[in-house]
């Protein structure tokens, strides 16, 4: 479970990602002109993950418990931005990855309640969509931000997109934004539709309809 104990840090599935072409790494910028020595292609890939991050959560974080982990205060990613070695970012660029072969990004929202094959495929499709459409981070307030977002004024924070706060919210986002997943029939549209229906009915609505142990403490034992 991503968050088995209240008040303690949860556990996620941080996925390190990089691409190669003809056996050569293509996420590294040799000129050093780009942030963290990421190539233009790597920045497009990063922007794709962040743009589709809310929809991705419907696949990469597919349990009601997932969203008890994605809260502020425990180094869990809450907002969709990238940064160098910032553990509060959805995408962290490892500071120690300084060579062409090592250069990569780390996507931090997923957890192990997701099917790893679906999670990896969905992230790749989001990143490739960013490359195909030459997305950039600047126009979407994706960063990079090398600061503590939690400590910033509300005016600054509200400009940064956040991850969903519940499974229901994530499934809504997936319902609105899944065209990048169905390209090439990698994720058939019928699969996406059925996934959303089943997750809502058998998990979100099932949990909402049942009393929670904490409700007894709040309302019955008072």
- For residues 104 and 118, is the Cβ–Cβ distance under 8 A? no
Per DSSP, the residues of 43-95 read: HHHHHHHHHTHHHHHHHHS-STTHHHHSSTTTT---EEEEEES-TTEEEEE-T
Please tell me the predicted confidence (pLDDT) of residue 48.
97
Give the structural domain span for 38: 15-220
Whether the per-residue pLDDT at 13 is higher than 90: the answer is: yes
Which residue, chain included where needed, has tokens 């840090």?
9
Question: Is residue 103 in some structural domain?
Answer: yes
pLDDT digits (tens, 9 = 90+) for 148-161: 887 888 888 888 99
Which CATH number does the domain housing residue 206 bear?
3.30.590.10
Residue 61: CB partners within 8 Å, gap ≥ 6? 2, 67, 70, 109, 110, 111, 113, 114, 163, 164, 167, 170
Whether the per-residue pLDDT at 86 is higher than 80: the answer is: no
pLDDT digits (tens, 9 = 90+) for 121-134: 999 999 999 999 99
Whether pTM > 0.75 for this model: the answer is yes
Total number of domains constituting the chain = 1
Whether the per-residue pLDDT at 110 is higher than 90: the answer is: yes
Sign of CA dihedral 156, 159, 161, 166: positive
Residue 24: CB partners within 8 Å, gap ≥ 6? none
* CA Rg value for the chain: 18
Of all residues in the chain, the percent with pLDDT exceeding 70 is: 98
Question: Is residue 5 in some structural domain?
Answer: no
pLDDT digits (tens, 9 = 90+) for 192-203: 999 999 999 999
Question: Is residue 24 in some structural domain?
Answer: yes
Question: Is residue 63 in some structural domain?
Answer: yes
């Amino acid at each position: 479970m991503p968050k088995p104990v209240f008040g303690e840090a949860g556990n996620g599935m941080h996925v390190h990602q990089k691409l190669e072409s003809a056996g050569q790494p293509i996420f590294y910028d040799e000129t050093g002109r780009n942030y963290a020595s990421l190539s233009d292609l790597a920045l497009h890939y990063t922007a794709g993950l962040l743009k589709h991050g809310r929809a991705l959560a419907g696949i990469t974080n597919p349990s009601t418990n997932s969203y008890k982990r994605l809260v502020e205060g425990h180094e869990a990613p809450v907002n969709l931005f990238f940064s160098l070695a910032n553990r509060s970012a959805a995408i962290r660029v490892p500071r120690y990855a300084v060579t062409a072969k090592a250069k990569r990004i780390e996507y931090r929202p997923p957890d192990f309640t997701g099917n790893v094959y679906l999670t990896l495929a969905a992230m790749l499709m989001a990143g490739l969509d960013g490359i195909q459409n030459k997305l950039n981070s600047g126009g979407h307030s994706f960063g990079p931000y090398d600061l503590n977002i939690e400590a910033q004024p509300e005016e600054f924070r509200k400009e940064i997109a956040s991850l969903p706060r519940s499974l229901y919210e994530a499934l809504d986002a997936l319902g609105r934004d899944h065209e990048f997943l169905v390209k090439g029939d990698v994720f058939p549209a019928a699969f996406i539709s059925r996934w959303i229906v089943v997750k809502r009915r058998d998990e979100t609505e099932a949990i909402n309809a049942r009393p929670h142990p904490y409700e007894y403490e709040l309302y019955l034992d008072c």
